Structure 1
Amino acid sequence: MTNPDDESTPRPAGPTGAGEPVSPPPASDPTPPPPPPSQGFPAAPPPPPSSPPAAGAAGASTVAPTAPPTTVNIAFWLYIVGAVLSVVSGIITIAVVSGSRADQVRIIEQQGGDLKGLTAQQVADASVTFLVTWSIVTLIFWAIVFVLFAYFMRRGANWARIVLTVLTVLSLLNLLTGFGTGLLQVLATIVAVVLMWLRPSSAYFAAVKAAKGPRV
Structure 2
Amino acid sequence: MATPPHIPGLGAFLDKDSSTPRPAAPRPVTVAVWLLVLAAAAQIVASVMGIIHAVSPERAQVLQAQLAADPASTLSLEAMRNMGVITVVLAALATVSAYVLFAFFLHKGRMWARTATSVLVVLTLSQLVGIVFPGGFTTIAQLVLGSLAIALCYMPASKTFFADMKAYRG
Structures share fold, TM-score greater than 0.5: yes
Out of 97, 110, 123, the residue aligned to residue 157 of structure 1 is 110
Kindly state the Cα deviation for residue 105 of structure 1 after the two structures are TM-superposed: 5.0
Q: Which residue of 2 aligns with 1:93?
A: 50
- Is 1:146–2:104 an aligned residue pair? no
Tell me the equivalent position of 1:169: 122
Unpaired stretches in structure 2, ≥5 consecutive residues:
1-17
- What residue is the counterpart of 2:62 in the other structure? 104
Whole-Å separation in 1 of the counterparts to 2:115 and 2:45: 26
Q: Which residue of 2 aligns with 1:211?
A: 168
Quick check: 1:73–1:154 contact (8 Å CA) kept in 2? Answer: yes
* Alpha-carbon distance in 2 for matches of 1:138, 1:108: 23
Aligned residue in 2 for 1:75 = 32
Larger Rg: 1
The structure with more helix, counted as a fraction of residues = 2
Work out the CA distance in 2 between the residues paired with 1:174 and 1:105.
Answer: 21
RMSD, matched Cα: 2.3
Q: Report if aligned partners of 1:101, 1:125 keep a CA contact under 8 Å in 2.
A: no
How many Å separate the matches in 2 of 1:193 and 1:181?
Answer: 18
Which amino acid in structure 2 is aligned with residue 85 of structure 1? A
| TM score, norm. by length of structure 2 | 0.76
Q: Are 1:113 and 2:69 counterparts? A: yes
Question: What corresponds to 2:137 in structure 1?
Answer: 180
Higher relative contact order (CA 8 A, sep 6+): 2
What stretches of structure 1 move > 6 A for 4+ residues in a row?
Answer: none
Code of the aligned partner of 1:173: S
What are structure 1's unaligned runs of at least 5 residues?
Answer: 1-59
Cα shift at 1:148: 1.4
* Shift in Å, 1:113: 2.7
Are the aligned partners of 2:43 and 2:138 in contact in 1 as well (CA < 8 Å)?
yes
Q: TM-score if structure 1 supplies the norm length?
A: 0.61
- Tell me, in whole angstroms, the C-alpha distance in 2 between the residues paired with 1:191 and 1:72: 11
Q: Percent identity?
A: 29
- In structure 2, distance between residues paired with 1:183 and 1:129: 27
